Amino acid sequence: MSKAADPILIEILRNEMAAITEEMAIAVYKTARSSMLRVGDFATSLADYQGRIVGLGQSHTMATSVFMHLMPFVTQKFAGNFKDGDVIIANDPYSGASHMPDVIVVMPVFHRGQVSGFVIIYSHQTDIGGRFPGGFSSQCTETYEEGIRLPNLKLYEGGVRNEPLVQLLKANVRAADEWMGDIDAKLAGCRRGIREFQAVLEKYGMEKVNACFDYLVDYGEQAARRAIAAVPPGDYAREIMLRDDGFGSDGVAMPIRATLRFRRERLVVDFTGTAAQARGAINMPYSNTLGQVYSTLHKILAPDVVFNAGFVKPIEVIAPLGTLANPKFPAAVGGRAPLFFLITELIHLALAEAIPDRVPVPQEGGDIVHMSGHRPDGSEYTTMDLVWGGWGGRPGKDGIDGAGMSYISVPAELVEREVPVVVEGFGLVPDTSGAGRYRGSLGIFKSYRFLHPARIMVRTNRPFESAVGLAAGRQGTPSCNLFTPLDGEPMELPRKSHMHLEVKAGDRLYHQVCGSAGHGDPCQRDPAAVLEDVREEKLSIEHARAEYGVAIDPVTMAIDTAATDALRRATRR
């Protein structure tokens, strides 16, 4: 520990920084316009005067990883030209940001005339202009089609708003007033953060604060090195196929390959062997590839350790330029979300070879129903409804039903208040979880009846199959989408990651997120746990018999022990 760093002050400041990011988040919650921000699809964070992210903040590791990648672009572009009151706005995937609907604002924090830190907030804006409402359709072929690209521009300079830029933005996005309302909410959060950050600097002094930040970054690095050293050295390689080119073409099979090379206190994650970038917008910006790698490694190897700029220092990520994991400009990237889940699964599978007792089946979900159009009063809207699944089976525990990232599932009441639609159903789907000694989570469904004509985009991150099971666990039931016209019969929609629909009043849409895979041999599951699932209507008696070899009397609702033993013996043979 540095002599200048006081251990008590370090703990105080660590909590002070967390409190500041929470205050920033509260300001966003209270002033946001769109439903997405009001349910939590945003992140707040702080950086020191060098632009280093020193703590997770009111955020998640994926967003924090993007901030880490973005900040060098910002600090290098404006080095020596920051002014008190500046606001940098960014969304360019080729200048450090994520896909273009994820709009980030960054503000420098001044203390006694010098830049002493930065406050950062991202949120997913419900539109960004471009060919398709929402800005994240997989059917774009160049980034020029995806909307307005903001390569780290000054929205405010010295506290003065850049009115031509604002006019340009409002002229090119759908539902412009709501769009700018969400930008203003992020500005309110940043300004709150600046006030609190400046108060901390005034109270403790720049030198002590920076010494504490140095310690926290060093601590993050050393903790990551220890976590890496605890994994048996070796190379662990896996490959998964991406089966959608963005257009739903038949016979697509693009490999995504990752090799994890553990060497004492260093780790290389190498995506060499991954397919070339696709024509459709399913490519992953490098910032998001970093984010999926860092966040997955953090939650498995060292979930209790602070995630900051130090934690990622011992981790090298190699993603050859021009591949799905690091496309070349002007490749379209808006529909990259299905690749999120495949890369996460890939890292899980590789780690399961090295440390099988610590690796769960990853979560499912992140599906979206994006709606845009005009209300009966003529006002324009764009909105998103997120539908998350849950976690797969874990070593020693079942998956968690409906809790992948359930804090950003939009309540039905909020959806119905915002747009002319009725949410007719929302819940768990029986018999969809992957079987295992520890079962996966059930699939989730949500159904809609539209009250007014609208344009709909459905994003299904797992259109073909769930993540694979671990340790002989089985896969969950795949996702599906059913569309029922006002005067027609239900029809299953094609299995692809992004679909566009024109709906009229009275049409219905049913969306189901896939069930998660199980962990371990289903025949080793405790029959009492199987019976409990049947009694809770998560599992049918027929499914209990077929998947787990557990015979249950439908009258007494009791386990037939002799029949169960016979079924399981036959299965093992």
Q: Read off the pLDDT of residues 348-385 as tens digits, 9 standing for 90 and up.
A: 999 999 999 999 999 887 899 999 999 999 999 999 99
**Percentage of the chain lying above the pLDDT 70 cut:** 98
Average pLDDT estimate for 190-199: 97
The CB density around residue 406, as the number of other CB atoms within 10 Å, is 17
For residues 264-280, average pLDDT: 96
Q: What is the mean pLDDT of residues 479-501?
A: 95
**How many other C-beta atoms lie within 10 A of the C-beta of residue 91?**
26
pLDDT for residue 395: 97
DSSP tally for the chain: helices H, then strands E: 12, 19
Give one word for 339, left, alpha or beta, with left for phi > 0 and alpha for psi -120 to 50: alpha
Q: Is the dihedral of CA 132, 134, 136, 142 positive or negative?
A: positive
Least confident of 43-57, 228-242, 263-277, 424-438: 43-57
| Predicted structure pTM score | 0.94
Name which of 257, 254, 259 is nearest 237 in CA terms. Answer: 259
Mean pLDDT to the nearest integer, 450-459: 97
**Domain limits, the chain:** 7-221, 360-525, 528-572
Q: What is the mean pLDDT of the chain?
A: 94
pLDDT digits (tens, 9 = 90+) for 110-122: 999 999 999 999 9
